Amino acid sequence: MTTSLSIYVVEINQFVRDLDIRATELRSMAWSASTWKTKTSQWKRFLGFCELAGATPVPTKLNVMCRYAVHLSRSLRYSTIQNYISAVISLNNYFNYDVLYIRSEFTFAMTMSGIRRALGDPEPHRPTLFLEDLHSMFSKVDLASTNELTMWACITLAFRGLLRKSNLVPDSDALKGHYLRRGAVVITNWGMEVKVSSSKTIQYCQKTHRVPITTAQGSPVCAVTWVRKHFADVPSSDPDSPAFMLVGSGSPKPLTYSKLLSFLKTLLARADLESTRVGCHSLRRAGALYMYNLGLSLEDIRQAGDWSSMAALVYLTKPFANRVSTDSVVSKSLSSYASHCKSVL
């Protein structure tokens, strides 16, 4: 009887341990790899500050949070400081401490308001690429280079498909994280279909975002033309291989984000266009803005780019020259009304 009871207790303890181990594994999966990387970096910075200031990191006290915000203000923008403060709150939550109330404490709120006034809180400068810019960039592509045409195919796909960088290419040759696979691109008689099964807005396998891209005959930004050429120049029978591969000595290597970004900036420099703060995400914005200027509805653009919120509006600010034209319509109307009044009088 004693032996049976002992075995039963051991089995229960093992059962509970297995559940705890699995719970720990599941919690580690709650955030994406990129989120964990960002949070870890922010936590390390806070822990370094606490060591320097002789403060206890967790639970974080009000005065420590104020001092940390001031410390961050010496080198970071206001919006970035907010992110670091949020990371401190999540660190406390991780150890089951609730310090969210600190945000609404008068002393902390006044400290953050003072930092915002001292630093300013300008909107980040986002250079806009237009269709004419892309045409200028294409004129600088070496058409005899297989690799340059491969990267141009990727650029046009980002523009036409409104794709995020994580839906295009891997960060490194290690092929970790999200990236477009060869099997996710289906060539059709009308163009191609790109299937996105994991992204910023698709993290729980809840759907597959299907992106139709039709052929734009004769256009240098026709993604269908250049992707088809890339697939013919660098064939692969493996549907799980990266969609875009670069040739060289040995077998083809994956086109990584750093290589794509370097080529994008090189093209901009060749075309004498601004390259500061331009990234692959600028192509997504350029595609959305082009659709908007064509008169397509915001809902159409949101669906095409798989935006789950109104964040697409950030991309749709009309350039100043267009706003001048818009205002001229108002001025002409005012002048016309004035002329009408004079004729009546």
From 305, 104, 76, select the one nearest 201 (Cα to Cα). 305
Q: Does residue 68 share a domain with residue 9?
A: no
| pTM higher than the cut 0.85 | no
Q: Does residue 272 share a domain with residue 212?
A: yes
Q: Does residue 245 share a domain with residue 205?
A: yes
Contacts of 232 (CB under 8 A, 6+ apart): none
Q: Does residue 282 share a domain with residue 250?
A: yes
pLDDT of residue 321: 66
Q: Does residue 189 share a domain with residue 136?
A: yes
- Record the tokens describing residue 143, joined without a space: 């058409």
Task: Compute CA distances 168 → 152, 181, 306, 316, whole Å.
Answer: 13, 8, 15, 22
Q: Is 158 helix (H, G, I), strand (E, B) or coil?
A: helix
* Domain-located, residue 194: yes
Low-confidence ranges of the chain (pLDDT < 70): 1-3, 5, 124-126, 175, 177, 202, 311-312, 314-315, 317-322, 342-345
Q: Which helix (H) or strand (E) holds 212?
A: strand 209-214
Q: Does residue 37 share a domain with residue 22?
A: no
- Contact yes or no for 273/128 (Cβ under 8 A): no
Contacts of 295 (CB under 8 A, 6+ apart): none
Q: Does residue 201 share a domain with residue 168?
A: yes
- Contact yes or no for 55/64 (Cβ under 8 A): yes
Q: Does residue 230 share a domain with residue 100?
A: no
From 144, 150, 143, 149, select the one nearest 244 (Cα to Cα). 150
Residues spanned by the domain of 55: 31-119
* Domain-located, residue 140: yes
pLDDT of residue 345: 53
pLDDT of residue 325: 74
pLDDT of residue 341: 77
pLDDT of residue 328: 82
Q: Give the DSSP letter of residue 242.
A: B
User: pLDDT tens digit string along 237-287?
Assistant: 899 999 999 998 888 999 999 999 999 999 999 999 988 888 888 999 999
pLDDT of residue 123: 74
pLDDT of residue 309: 72
pLDDT of residue 32: 81
Contacts of 314 (CB under 8 A, 6+ apart): none
Distance from C-alpha of 84 to C-alpha of 112, rounded to nearest angstrom: 12
Q: Does residue 18 share a domain with residue 55?
A: no
pLDDT of residue 1: 56
Give me the number of domains the chain comprises: 3
* Domain-located, residue 341: no
Q: Which helix (H) or strand (E) holds 191?
A: strand 191-196
Q: Does residue 37 share a domain with residue 12?
A: no
Output the domain CATH number for residue 286.
1.10.443.10
* Domain-located, residue 345: no
Residue type, 62: L
* Domain-located, residue 92: yes
Q: Does residue 35 share a domain with residue 17?
A: no
Q: Which helix (H) or strand (E) holds 254?
A: strand 253-254
Distance from C-alpha of 316 to C-alpha of 161, rounded to nearest angstrom: 16
Output the domain CATH number for residue 38.
1.10.150.130
Q: Does residue 51 share a domain with residue 14?
A: no
* Domain-located, residue 339: no
pLDDT of residue 337: 76
